[in-house]
């Protein structure tokens, strides 16, 4: 499954080693999730990193290496009414490259959270993890007991 991570999720993962955003990275390999972003998202992360604690920059280096970076998609050939022009590249790129858009941006994606946009699920990371766990699909890489 391909998960598109928007700027808010990447910044949350950089800013804290705990929480659902970082958990997405920790569980990606064992669950065979491909973590996707675009240059537009990476630029937004770089622009906002200075607002986070200095440790976030070091965290970003490691997390960025785990991302599959795809091209930005600026238009779609389907009817799309989305009131936030600055986030259209995120929505359209996620639609083109992923199965799920993960976002914490309630201001711009709030009306779409928990819904789908042309079969693209739009969820907060915590809700995605709960959905996968409830469906019996979430594999957690806990150390084996000795």
Tally: H helices and E strands in the chain = 7, 6
- 103 or 82, which is more confident: 103
Separation of alpha carbons 15 and 144, rounded Å: 29
Asked whether 40 and 72 are in contact (CB, 8 A), the reply is: yes
Model confidence pLDDT, tens digit, residues 46-101: 999 999 888 888 889 889 999 999 998 855 465 455 454 556 788 889 999 999 99
- pLDDT value, residue 118: 85
Residue at token pair 């941006």: 105
């Amino acid at each position: 499954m391909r998960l598109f991570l928007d700027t808010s999720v990447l910044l949350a993962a950089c800013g804290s080693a705990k929480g659902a955003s970082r958990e997405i990275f920790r569980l990606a390999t064992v669950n065979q999730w491909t973590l996707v972003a675009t240059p537009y998202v990476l630029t937004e992360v770089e622009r906002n990193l200075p607002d986070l604690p200095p440790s976030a920059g070091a965290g970003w280096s490691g997390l960025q290496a785990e991302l599959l970076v795809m091209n930005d998609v600026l238009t779609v050939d389907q009817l799309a009414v989305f009131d936030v022009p600055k986030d259209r590249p995120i929505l359209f790129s996620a639609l083109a490259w992923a199965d799920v858009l993960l976002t914490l941006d309630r201001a711009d994606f709030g009306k779409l959270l928990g819904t789908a946009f042309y079969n693209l699920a739009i969820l907060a990371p915590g809700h995605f993890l709960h959905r996968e766990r409830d469906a019996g699909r979430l594999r957690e890489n806990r150390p084996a007991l000795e």
